[in-house]
Chain A
């Protein structure tokens, strides 16, 4: 597993672009992509349900994007401490390896007592923005970085 510590600025550059976007020429192709996207989305969700409960209103352990774009990017918001665990990133990567197309998963959290962190996960690489060593330890990402470059992370209130 390749882990790269990055900056928010670099992460934002990635997030502004569609990830592995489909080539859409007509409505039939759009519908085809719609179906592919939600099949993959469901597979990621099913995998994460091994770790916790999904709830769109924040009352479970995680939530996923309910909207879609012409991008193969999936998004997860962690909503309980349960998913801040060593299994999270490997499980997502394992799931991504099995998808028919190259997808990415973006992860952040909604836990007010926890410093913010961001992860951009691909099947062969994880990019992380986090300057809290305890969180990295809990995610089993500590001491695995290829390059450390923590930048202007917002501080806790």
Chain B
């Protein structure tokens, strides 16, 4: 060994301590070879308390959700690896094992899944199990609410458009095709509420924004919406829609 080369610590014969970015359970379930496991176990995240400098045990809090999502990403990664001509990770050794493990670990650390990315950030920041649990609950709640909005957006040809009004007020305008019964009988607010409830089963608050709302509503009723209108319908388009203005998903 060259005298300038730092001595390398031998790998322990047991799974080392700290948070495994690719959990051991995921490694087992996907039949990784021992060299792949050793590479993945080489680098762990450890969080330290900012005041005391003590290492903080992250425990099981929120970990099942993390395991589930990382497992899904791992399977996608394996599929891509194989599509690029890579061998099955159960048989990888040496440089191939390192290449596979490094790629997977980087993918998880830079995951597009905000729960996965956020979970690792929580651990690196030295959050306690209680803090991670509260964070985890908030993340899952936020996702559930986003998916409620997603169900609205994907329903019945809905289109959404952010509109900035005078005074800087920003509105989310949802245009929903084919909902006419409530519109004719009760106006856009009730139609909006009923529509969102029919899609999400949740009650929402719809706040009209005054004169502009009424103008748009009148235009919609008369089929006169045009390209100058913030909603952006083509001129003289036959409007069979309601416009949900400034609607907010609530519970």
Contacts and interface: CB of A to CB of B under 8 A. Distances in A.
Contacts of A55: 64
B13 interface: yes
Interface residues of A, number: 40
Indicate the member of A106, A108, A118, A157 with the most B CB atoms within 10 Å.
A108
Contact of A16 (B56, B71, B137, B140): B56
A10 B65 CA distance: 26
Interface stretch (B16-24, B89-97, B188-196): B16-24
B128 A116 contact: no
Interface in B11-58: 12-15, 17-20, 23-25, 44, 46, 49, 51-52, 54-58
A57 B19 contact: no
A42 to B, nearest CB: 14
A110 B12 contact: no
Contact of B55 (A30, A70, A106, A118): A70
A154 interface: yes
B251 A77 contact: no
A83 B12 CA distance: 36
A69 B130 contact: no
A67 B67 contact: no
A39 interface: no
Contacts of A57: 25, 64, 67-68, 71
Nearest to A14: B128
Contacts, number: 128
B224 interface: no
B131 interface: yes
Contact of B63 (A11, A31, A63): A63
Contact of A66 (B23, B137, B145): B23
A58 to B, nearest CB: 3
Interface in A66-106: 66-71, 73, 75-77, 79, 106
B129 A75 contact: yes
A69 B19 CA distance: 9
A157 B65 contact: no
List 9 A-B pairs, minimum CB-CB distance, nearest first. A75-B59, A58-B64, A15-B128, A56-B25, A75-B60, A77-B60, A157-B141, A69-B57, A65-B60
Interface of A: 8, 11-12, 15-19, 27, 30-31, 34-35, 55-58, 63-71, 73, 75-77, 79, 106, 108, 110, 112, 116, 118, 129, 154, 157
19 contacts: A12-B131, A16-B49, A16-B52, A16-B126, A17-B52, A31-B13, A34-B14, A34-B15, A57-B68, A58-B64, A67-B24, A69-B46, A71-B57, A76-B60, A77-B59, A106-B59, A118-B130, A157-B141, A157-B144
